[in-house]
Amino acid sequence: MFERKEGYFRETANDQVMEKIDADGNVIGFSVLKVSSLKERPIDIALGS
């Protein structure tokens, strides 16, 4: 279902969300840090290259 691709993480407008970018600059994933500490719901952030 999910492919493992090489890439790097970069910051987003939200300090708790990082987007994973491939060598071509495409967003291939994301990571939400400290999920259990989130107080506001839902988290809303636009991912893009």
- Model pLDDT for residues 13-29, shown as the tens digit of each residue: 888 889 999 999 999 98
Sign of CA dihedral 2, 26, 23, 31: negative
- The answer to whether 7 and 26 are in contact (CB under 8 A) is no
Confidence of residue 9 (pLDDT cuts 50, 70, 90): very high
pTM flag (> 0.95)? no
d(CA 37, CA 49) in angstroms, rounded, equals: 27
Does the pLDDT of residue 11 top 60, yes or no? yes
- The answer to whether 17 and 33 are in contact (CB under 8 A) is yes
d(CA 42, CA 9) in angstroms, rounded, equals: 22
Q: For the chain, give every domain's residue range.
A: 8-35
